[in-house]
Structure 1
């Protein structure tokens, strides 16, 4: 056995710590034990917890099932969510673009936010989104992106903001042709009736509601769900890559 600091083999026993033999280096006085328990959770546990989250389980429900403290799972959501782009890389330019809005709230019901989502009518997956109020100022940020696609048609509901940006020739107002975007938005809604039209976010046991306490957390969650639905993974590899880059 050698000292982990100076590599000296002049080692002596020096009592016990938490049931394990403690050693001391005679040369540099470094104290150590022969082996250390692995700290933290495995990648499998992290992945299972995050998959439960994006599939509708609240943080405290995950804690009860996986025996991982809910604040730890919250930190994992923040860490992974911060590594992800807003939407996955897309190679196709949509010929028909569908746009819709989904209501949620931050902290309490009166603090309403709207999630505007965009999909390609022919391909599964959300390809653009913006979070804000339901005004034309919010949609304007989204329009800057989607107008560059020059789609043949843009399909929306009858909300009056859309005609401010879309010409009559390119604009189709019809819920019937919004099956793709409605289907994608339904993925954000928990299946449980108690959560109904609220996005999969923080779980409040007392009120049996599900909501986010911060807009930042809401955005992380949206990125996680979009990535999971596109690639059927929770992107732990992206988190590991970022850690390695930080070390380098």
Structure 2
């Protein structure tokens, strides 16, 4: 009997399923399989689709329905994706100088307020000119 995942002949009988079918264990990849059973492996194109759906913030149940995978498989897949991420997520962990940062933000805010004042003054003068006519 060949393994349905790695096609190895290094297998042994491993009990029966609850339906009474013979269960096998592969010594090379440590997977269990049933003779004549369906392959439940998710191919790479489906994994690419699942990655895109995860980025779209679709519910996990919705992804399971669309891609025809179990929620248990999807959760373990997400867990493996999370483990493969770098610890720091490539973030810059150095803090900016707080004095210069706040100074820059304050200058930006003052600039915004000055523009708003100029616009209001323009509308007031325009409105008064139209009333006087």
TM-score of the superposed pair, with normalisation by structure 2? 0.44
The structure showing larger relative contact order (alpha-carbon pairs under 8 Å, at least 6 residues apart) is 1
Which has more strand, going by share of residues? 1
Which has more helix, going by share of residues? 2
TM-score of the superposed pair, with normalisation by structure 1? 0.26
